[in-house]
Amino acid sequence: MKLYNSVGPNPHVVRMFAAEKGLTLPMVDVDLRGGENRKPPYQDKVNVAGQTPALELADGAVISEITVICEYLEEKHPTPSLIGTNAEERAETRMWTRRVDLNICEPMANGFRAAEGRPMFEPRMKLV
C-alpha cells in the first residue's frame, strides 16, 4: 500500500487513523499548492477527481475518500477496532462521521475556499 498525502485535514485524518492502528504507510507527497493534484500524472493515474488522500493498493488499484480508506484499513487490520466490532457500533460511528462531514467539515471548507483560500482555488474552479 501507498498513501498519497498532502497538506490539509483530509490526509491528516487517514494518517492519524493509521497511527492509531499501529500501521506505517509509505507516503507520496502531493503538492496541492502547486496544483500537482490537478494535472497528470496524478489526476490521470491516481485520482481523476484530483483530491487527496488516495490509497494505492498492492495490485495497483486506488481508493480515495477519507472514510472509505479508513474503513478499508479497519477491515484489513481489525485490531484495534476503531470503527466498531458489531453492526450497531459501526452504524453509530458512521452516523457521527456523516454528521461531522456534513455539518462541520463541509461548511468550514466552503468558507475557506470562498475567503482566505480563494486565491488558491480561483484558477482551478469556477467560483460563482
pLDDT category of residue 127 using cuts at 50, 70 and 90: low
* Domain co-membership, 64 together with 29: yes
Is residue 20 domain-shared with residue 52, that is, in the same domain?
yes
Range of the domain at 38: 1-79
Give the pLDDT band of residue 85 (cuts 50, 70, 90): very high
- 103 has pLDDT over 60: yes
Residue 95 has pLDDT above 70, yes or no: yes
Q: Residue 126: is its pLDDT beyond 80? A: no
Q: Within this chain, do residues 66 and 38 fall inside the same structural domain, yes or no? A: yes
What is the residue-averaged pLDDT of the chain? 92
- Shared-domain flag, residues 30 and 68: yes
Evaluate if residue 97 carries a pLDDT over 60: yes
Q: How confident is the model at residue 125 (pLDDT cuts 50, 70, 90)?
A: low
Three-state SS letters, the chain: CEEEECCCHHHHHHHHHHHHHCCCCCEEECCCCCCHHHCCCHHHHHCCCCCCCEEECCCCCEEECHHHHHHHHHHHCCCCCCCCCCHHHHHHHHHHHHHHHHHHHHHHHHHHHHCCCHHHHCCCCCCC
pLDDT tens for each residue of 54-76 = 999 999 999 999 999 999 999 99
Q: Are residues 40 and 100 in the same domain?
A: no
